[in-house]
C-alpha cells in the first residue's frame, strides 16, 4: 500500500464537475472540493491539481498540487482594473496614432 499523503476520494459527479473528499496529509482534516476541467480562456479559480488513480483502491487518488490557490486567478488579483496596456503596446499605439496630447475642446458658437 502506498504511503499516506495527499489523497482524494471521488464521491459524486454533476454537470459542474466531480466532487471529492481530500486529505492533504495524514493528520490533516478532510476537505471537500469540486474538480472542474481546465478550459482554455477561462480563469482558474482555486488550486490546480493532478490526480493519479491507485491500483489497489480505484476510487482513491494520489493528489499532486501543480499550482497553489494563491498563485491562480482567485488569489492573484490586485485591487483595481486589470492592467492590459503594456509599455510596448503604448509605443505601438503612439507609432500608429501619434502620442497622446491634451484633449482640446471646440468652441461652439
Give this prediction's pTM: 0.58
pLDDT at 75: 45
Q: Does residue 103 fall inside a structural domain? A: no
Supply φ then ψ for residue 49, to 5 degrees: -130, 160
pLDDT tens by residue, 4-55: 689 999 999 999 899 999 999 988 999 999 999 988 998 888 899 999 999 9
Mean predicted confidence (pLDDT) in 77-106: 73
Q: Does residue 28 fall inside a structural domain? A: yes
Beta-carbon contacts of residue 50 (< 8 Å; ≥ 6 apart): 63, 64, 66
Q: What is the rounded CA–CA span in Å between residue 101 and residue 106?
A: 15
Total domains in the fold of the chain = 1
Q: Does residue 42 fall inside a structural domain? A: yes
Q: Does residue 34 fall inside a structural domain? A: yes
Q: Does residue 90 fall inside a structural domain? A: no
pLDDT at 43: 87
Q: Does residue 51 fall inside a structural domain? A: yes
Cell of 62: 494520489
At residue 103, does pLDDT exceed 70? no
Cell of 12: 459524486
Domain that holds residue 11: 7-77
pLDDT tens by residue, 49-72: 999 999 988 889 999 999 888 755
Q: Does residue 61 fall inside a structural domain? A: yes
Q: Does residue 102 fall inside a structural domain? A: no
Amino acid at each position: 500500500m502506498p504511503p499516506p499523503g495527499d489523497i482524494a476520494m471521488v464521491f459524486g459527479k454533476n454537470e459542474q464537475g466531480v466532487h471529492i473528499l481530500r486529505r492533504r496529509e495524514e493528520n490533516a482534516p478532510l476537505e471537500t472540493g469540486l474538480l472542474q476541467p481546465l478550459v482554455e480562456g477561462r480563469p482558474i479559480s482555486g488550486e490546480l491539481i493532478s490526480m493519479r488513480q491507485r491500483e489497489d483502491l480505484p476510487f482513491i487518488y494520489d493528489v499532486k498540487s501543480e499550482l497553489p490557490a494563491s498563485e491562480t486567478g482567485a488569489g492573484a488579483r490586485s485591487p483595481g482594473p486589470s492592467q492590459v496596456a503594456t509599455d510596448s503596446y503604448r509605443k505601438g499605439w503612439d507609432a500608429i496614432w501619434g502620442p497622446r496630447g491634451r484633449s482640446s475642446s471646440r468652441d461652439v458658437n
